[in-house]
Amino acid sequence: MRLFDFPRSGNCYKIRLFLSLINRPYETVPVALFEGGAETQEFLKLNPRGQVPVLEDGGEIIWDSMAILAYLAGRYADSSWYPEEPLAQARIMQWLAVSENEILYGLARSRAIFLFNKPFSLEECQAMGTKALELLEHQLEDQQWLAGSNPTIGDIACFPYVALAREGQLDLDKYPAVLAWIARIRKLPGFIPMEGID
């Protein structure tokens, strides 16, 4: 198993974290994003979108962090991470959608403005990021995990850019339930950090 990876990417970290949580060995293939590493013909054959992460497993190629999480959970993890029961899956998918919308366009892009000089609107991104944090705070006020009574890939999908929110100049101290959830994830057996989450 090989993971095409960029260390500062929260989306790549989702996969590294989940692989560690399920104790699955893999090889890292670094991709030099800022030197055009995702734009080469060789890489575009793996992912025509020119994005990381990409997972290669037994000759099969899977791209997009949500797709990779679902694949790994279904193939290698305990069923609690992504149950087959339709309602349980739907509840997880709701949070995967939040990870790819409010969290991506809010928290991730706010961070990208400061770290990578991306030309997004800081005001719009921080407003969307605040909405994301409010959504999570509301959900986590009465339960420990986003989609049920145990951690799922919904939690893993949302975690990185929430935990990195301060790098986008968003104040996590206003969200005690979110901070408690971050602490719970950090205590999971197999948890690994990334730069900015230490």
DSSP character string of 155-168 = HHHHHHHHHTGGGG
How confident is the model over 91-125, as pLDDT tens digits?
999 999 999 999 999 999 999 999 999 999 999 99
Q: How many domains does the chain have?
A: 2
Give the pLDDT band (50/70/90) at residue 1.
very high
User: What's the pLDDT band for 29 if we cut at 50, 70, 90?
Assistant: very high
Average pLDDT rounded to a whole number, residues 154-172? 97
Q: Are the CB atoms for 55 and 118 separated by under 8 Å?
A: no
Q: Which domain holds residue 66?
A: 2-79
Q: Is the pLDDT of residue 38 over 90?
A: no
Residue 60, strand partner residues: 57
How many percent of the chain have pLDDT more than 70? Answer: 99
| pLDDT attached to residue 32 | 87
Which of 59, 79, 99 finishes a domain? Answer: 79
Q: What is the CATH number of the domain that holds 73?
A: 3.40.30.10
Helix (H) or strand (E) holding 74: helix 65-76
pLDDT at 30 over 80: yes
> 149 and 124, same structural domain?
yes
> What's 119's domain CATH number?
1.20.1050.10
| pLDDT attached to residue 54 | 97
Distance CA 100, CA 51 (A): 14
Q: Average pLDDT of 134-163?
A: 97
Average pLDDT, the chain: 96
Are both 177 and 101 inside the same structural domain?
Answer: yes
65 plus 93 within the same structural domain = no
pLDDT at 37 over 90: no
Do 81 and 22 touch, CB atoms closer than 8 A? yes
Whether 33 shows a pLDDT value over 90: the answer reads no
User: Does the pLDDT value for residue 128 go beyond 90?
Assistant: yes
For the chain, give the percent of residues with pLDDT over 90: 94
Residue 34 binned pLDDT confidence (cut-offs 50, 70, 90): confident
Asked if the structure places residue 196 within a domain, the reply is no
For residues 52 and 35, membership in a common domain is answered with yes
For residue 195, being part of any structural domain is answered with no
